Amino acid sequence: YFGIEKAGVTRSERLLLVAFVAIALIISAAISLDRFTWLLEVLPVLIGAPLLVGSAQRFPLTPLLYRLLFLHALVLVVGGTYTYEKVPLGFWLQDVFHLERNPYDRLGHLMQGFVPAILAREILLRTSPLIRGGWLFFLVTCVCLAFSAFYELIEWRVAVNSGAAADAFLGTQGDPWDTQWDMCCALIGALSAQLMLAALHDRQLAALPVGVAPTTAGPHSPAR
């Protein structure tokens, strides 16, 4: 289970998060429109969830990060269920804002920057000499952009290997600039997360148990 009672998350909540994701995956798999696309879209959840559960005792995360990862998992599961270009919420947004395409994939890539930004920030603060400041902000942003670009390369490789079967996974909806828009959304998400949540994240990092929380000067840097 996910540790960190002192940081504000109860064991019941952690178990509920795991249970909700598991139930969402089961329902999603049962009603998915395209099983091949479903697997590709939810694969990060299938890989990440066991890693989080397995590492919780020795490397517990902040409540903020666990909750963000939960929300990101739901975004991926919904996208896998319908394929991103057919998500009902996206059609509703398309109608409300008079858009030319279903924008749900933009939300997915926004989250692809927003949530990994806090994940990268937490790992860097807790395991590297980095301290809070401009370099941390810059490097977290770089990590998110690198991950976004790597994901686009994965999409390209899958499309080359699978041909038309990967069309739903690519989700370009006829937009020749879809890849650039995806990375732009990830960049906006990464910048927004750091600007909006850094103070809350720092408070929760400070609330981690002794031996887990980073020091003000970073875990390997001299005190300032």
Tens digit of each residue's pLDDT (9 = 90 or more) over 14-50: 789 999 999 999 999 999 988 888 998 899 999 999 9
pLDDT band at 93, cuts 50/70/90?
A: very high
Residue 166 CA to residue 40 CA, distance in Å, equals 9
Give the pLDDT mean for 219-224.
Answer: 41
Report pLDDT digits (tens) over 69-84.
Answer: 999 999 999 999 998 8
Residue in 149, 166, 150 with CA at minimum distance from that of residue 158: 166
Choose between 179 and 118: higher pLDDT: 118
pLDDT at 195 over 90: yes
Which one has a higher pLDDT value, 55 or 176?
A: 55
Selection from 212, 215, 198 nearest residue 5 by Cα: 212
C-alpha to C-alpha distances, 151 to 61, 89, 93, 156, 167, nearest whole angstrom: 24, 23, 25, 9, 15
Please give the Cα distance from 83 to 35 (Å, whole number): 10
Q: Which residue has the tokens 């699978």?
A: 162
115-171 pLDDT tens trace = 999 999 999 999 999 999 999 999 999 999 999 999 888 888 777 777 655 555 555
Residue % of the chain over a pLDDT of 90:
59
Angle in degrees, CA 14, 76, 161, rounded to 5: 135
At residue 9 the predicted structure's pLDDT band, cuts being 50, 70 and 90, is low
More confident residue, 5 or 88: 88
- So what's the pLDDT on residue 212? 72
